[in-house]
């Protein structure tokens, strides 16, 4: 009896779980499987249209003979790359109407014109005409003929559903698409954007962790870059950094810090003399990184501030008794307390920055040396309409992040847990 009840409960549990499993598959897993599937196919945006025969019906009157009408069918293959086999056509005529001089590919029976057009190659087009006449030589109602829509059918392969796969997309990603440069640019942007946001987050958290008048207001102000709409923020930065009418360039020129305006978002490199050394700096990418740091340091600030408020005050009081200064307090007390939070933040921000698209796209569109792998996904998928290539790049991004997470959990994560 207990075994039977157990089986019933198990079946009931599985039945109740099925809707959740289905939703997870539909919302999360299916798009991932579809992306992987498309990455192994040479498919462009124009290729995702299902190959099907199409016809546009145009009815024309014949002024010399009102008992006759001319029907023009504009036939075409909707696909630009796939052919359609066994194309069949049919159109129904009203009673007492018959075709004249019917094409050899067609037959007329039971008030229906039936045609067999065979195979249509890709981009196939044809203007097909039929002359119809009333058997009693009466005037034919043109509107009745127009209302009847022709039917077409055919057999064709959908490129997305065939079992033909290729590795050409991945070959183009690694060999023909400046992959190393894109990868280095992405790591440069991701690493410095992540580290910079965390460092500024630590400074901000240390600042507002002290008691002073207006501390609550200051905390609110510090959150603005993160909660503000990214479109509005990016547009504001674009205006401020504009070389012709931007506020920043105007101030730098007026104070004679620079001789002429600098296109911070449109210039790829700039030569700088630092301590007697000529350094070639990636200007546009560095500017985008500063925007990234400014926009996302509040997230690090929130996490770190929450942890700092949980640190016992007795530790700092004991350090003061021992004569420790602010720097030693930070190194020996604060930093060990927030190491685990920093570790988690680094992982989260690294993944988010590696996948970052909208910030770069809104500021530079991927130009001036700011083209990262996510930008490349967009450019391949929608810029040049190569869907297969775009999917392949996105799969490579996922694989790189999986490797990063594996290294993180094996090395950095383990050390963070030991602290």
User: pLDDT band for position 94 (50/70/90)?
Assistant: confident
pLDDT at 285 over 60: yes
What does DSSP say about strands 84-92 and 151-155: parallel, antiparallel, or unpaired? antiparallel
87 close to 53: Cβ distance less than 8 angstroms: yes
CB 288 within 8 A of CB 370: yes
Q: Of 125-129, 144-148, 390-394, where does mean pLDDT reach its minimum?
A: 144-148
Question: Any idea what the Cα angle at residue 98 is, between residues 96 and 102, rounded to 5°?
Answer: 175
Query: Does residue 418 register a pLDDT over 60?
Result: no
pLDDT the model gives residue 375: 94
Taking only the tens place, the pLDDT of each residue in 321-336 is 878 788 888 888 888 8
Token pair recorded at residue 55: 């016809």
- pLDDT band at residue 419, thresholds of 50, 70 and 90? very low
Q: How confident is the model at residue 382 (pLDDT cuts 50, 70, 90)?
A: confident
Query: Would you give the distance in Å from CA 405 to the centre of its chain?
Result: 22
Range 212-230 average pLDDT: 86
Q: For tokens 């499987």, what's the residue? A: 33
What is the reported pLDDT for 376? 92
| Band of residue 142 on the pLDDT scale cut at 50, 70, 90 | confident
Q: Is the pLDDT of residue 89 over 70?
A: yes
Indicate the SS3 state at residue 366.
coil
Element (H, E) at 150: none
**Under CATH, which number does the domain 51-155 receive?**
2.60.40.290
Q: Which two tokens stand for residue 383?
A: 């810029």
User: What's the pLDDT at 195?
Assistant: 95
pLDDT at res. 74: 93
For range 386-415, the mean pLDDT: 85
In tens, the pLDDT along 31-71 reads 888 888 888 988 887 777 778 899 999 988 887 777 788 89
pLDDT score of 79 more than 90: no
Helices (H), 228-282: 230-240, 247-254
Compute the half-sphere exposure of residue 255: CA atoms within 13 Å on the CB side of its CA.
6
Read out DSSP for 275-329? TTEEEEEEHHHHHHHHHHHHHHHHHHHHHHHHHHTTS-HHHHHHHHHTT--HHHH
**Angle in degrees, 0-180, between the axes of helices 230-240 and 283-308, rounded to the nearest 10:** 130
* Number of residues that this document lists for the chain: 419
75 has a pLDDT exceeding 60: yes
Is the pLDDT assigned to residue 141 strictly greater than 70?
yes
Domain spans in the chain, listed from the N-terminal domain onward: 2-39, 51-155, 170-418
Q: Enter the CATH code of domain 170-418.
A: 1.10.3720.10
List residues bridging with 60 in a β-sheet.
Answer: 70
Average pLDDT over residues 345-369: 91
Round to whole Å and give the CA distance between 296 and 23.
32
Structure tokens at 74: 């504009």
| pLDDT confidence band for 197 (50 / 70 / 90) | very high
* Among 180, 188, 179, CA closest to 286: 188
Average pLDDT rounded to a whole number, residues 192-211: 91
- b/e string for 43-79 if b means 16 or more Cβ within 10 A? bbeebeeebbbebeeebeeeeeeeebbebebebbbbb
Distance CA 105, CA 44 (A): 34
Average pLDDT over residues 141-162: 85
CB half-sphere exposure, 303, CA atoms < 13 A: 22
The residue-averaged pLDDT of 166-190 equals 90
pLDDT of 190 > 80? The answer is: yes
SS3 73: strand
Instruction: Give residue 3's pLDDT band: very low, low, confident or very high (50, 70, 90).
Output: low
Q: Is 58 helix (H, G, I), strand (E, B) or coil?
A: strand
Q: In 311-332, which positions are buried (b, 16+ CB within 10 angstroms) versus exposed (e)?
A: eeeeeeeebeeeebeeeeeeee
- Average pLDDT, rounded, for the chain: 86
pLDDT number for residue 231: 92
């Amino acid at each position: 009896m207990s075994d039977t009840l157990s089986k019933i409960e198990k079946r009931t549990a599985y039945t109740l779980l099925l809707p959740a499993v289905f939703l997870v598959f539909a919302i999360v897993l299916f798009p991932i499987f579809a992306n992987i599937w498309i990455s192994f196919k040479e498919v462009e945006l124009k290729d995702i249209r299902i190959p099907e025969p199409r016809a546009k019906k145009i009815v024309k009157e014949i002024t010399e003979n009102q008992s006759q009408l001319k029907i023009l069918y504009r036939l075409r293959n909707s696909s630009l790359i796939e052919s359609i086999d066994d194309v069949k056509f049919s159109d129904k005529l009203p009673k007492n109407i018959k075709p004249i001089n019917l094409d050899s590919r067609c037959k007329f029976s039971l008030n229906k014109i039936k045609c067999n057009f065979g195979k249509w190659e890709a981009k196939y087009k044809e203007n097909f005409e039929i002359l119809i006449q009333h058997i009693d030589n009466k005037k034919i109602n043109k509107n009745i003929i127009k209302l009847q829509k022709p039917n077409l059918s055919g057999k064709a392969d959908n490129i997305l559903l065939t079992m033909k796969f290729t590795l050409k997309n991945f070959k183009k990603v690694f060999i023909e698409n400046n992959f190393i440069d894109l990868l280095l640019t992405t790591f440069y942007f991701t690493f410095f954007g992540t580290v910079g946001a965390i460092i500024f987050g630590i400074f901000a958290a240390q600042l507002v962790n002290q008691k002073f008048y207006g501390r609550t207001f200051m905390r609110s102000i510090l959150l603005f870059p993160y909660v503000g709409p990214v479109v509005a923020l990016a547009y504001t930065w674009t205006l401020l950094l504009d070389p012709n009418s931007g506020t920043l360039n105007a101030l730098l020129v007026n104070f004679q810090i620079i001789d002429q305006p600098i296109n911070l978002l449109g210039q790829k490199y700039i030569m700088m003399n630092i301590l007697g050394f000529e350094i070639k700096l990636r200007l546009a990418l560095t500017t985008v990184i500063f925007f990234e740091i400014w926009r996302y340091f509040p997230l690090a600030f929130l996490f770190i501030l929450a942890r700092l408020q949980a640190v016992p005050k007795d530790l700092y009081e004991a350090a003061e008794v021992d004569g420790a200064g602010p720097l030693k307090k930070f190194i020996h007390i604060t930093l060990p307390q927030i190491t685990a939070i920093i570790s988690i933040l680094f992982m989260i921000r690294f993944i988010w920055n590696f996948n970052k698209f909208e910030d770069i796209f809104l500021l530079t569109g991927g130009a001036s040396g700011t083209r990262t792998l996510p930008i490349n996904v967009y450019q391949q998928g929608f810029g040049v309409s190569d869907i297969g290539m775009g999917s392949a790049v996105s799969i490579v991004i996922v694989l790189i992040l999986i490797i990063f997470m594996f290294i993180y959990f094996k090395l950095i994560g383990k050390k963070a847990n030991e602290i």
